[in-house]
Amino acid sequence: MEPQLVRLSKTVTIFVTFFGLIKTLSAACLPNSTQFESSCYSFLNITTWANGQKWCQEIGTMHMVIESAEENAFIIQEMRLRDMAHAWIGCSDEQTEGAWVCHFADGVTRAMSYADWRSDQPNNWKNQDCASVRSDNGKWMDDFCHHHERFYVVCETNSTKVEIPPAVVSSSAGTVTCYIMGADGRLRP
Ligand SMILES: [Ca+2]
Ligand SMILES: [Ca+2]
């Protein structure tokens, strides 16, 4: 093991031994993202569904996929805090009309297992294929995937993917050591 990694390993061990924080550390979200249960969410700007997916992928995430009433409630609360009236959901019926599939951050695509459509939705009006949620009533609608002036992008990733936070601080032996993750993904003091 490289010296830096040995030092990091010792640092983490000290944390586990004295503070029992490994669970907290392993469930950390990166800065500028918000945690709910085991997911981290990043709230970005307005763009099309496809471009939003690209934005999310650039930061190692995907469009959010809402899978419970609790998650839906969390999302609309966070949207309201940010004055976001509409946001994309990472599900579409673009491939087969009426067969809604969702694209998850782990790269898997699965049939939609939870939905909270408004009573008259999805209506596929003029061939709408992308799912969205509105924060006024928390209900879902299908809309035009190419719509570029209404829907905000909310990215989601599993927080357990972040096994080591970008900065690990140790106060052992009266010293403080900070580690940052470089562009190559390596940790260094
Ligand atoms: Ca459709
Ligand atoms: Ca619709």
Q: Which helix (H) or strand (E) holds 178?
A: strand 177-178
Distance 124 CA to ligand 1 centre (A): 4
Instruction: Provide the 8-state DSSP code for 31.
Output: T
- Which ligand is nearest to the Cα of residue 86, counting in written order? 2
The tokens for 171 are: 């106060």
Query: Which ligand has an atom closest to residue 143 CA?
Result: 2
| Residue 160 clears pLDDT 90, i.e. is over it | no
Ligand 2 centroid–CA 117 distance in Å is 10
Q: Looking at residue 39, what is its pLDDT? A: 95
**Token digits of residue 133:** 């949620």
Give the right CATH number for 37-159 from 3.40.309.10, 3.10.100.10, 3.40.47.10, 1.10.3720.10: 3.10.100.10
Find all residues with CB under 8 Å of 136, minimum gap 6, and list them: 85
Task: Parse the chain into domains and list their residue ranges.
Answer: 1-28+162-189, 37-159
Ligand nearest to the CA of 123: 2
140-143 and 152-158 beta bridge pairing: unpaired
Whole-angstrom Cα Rg for the chain: 20
CA of 163 to the centre of ligand 2 (A): 39
Stretch 109-117: mean pLDDT: 97
Average pLDDT over residues 135-151: 98
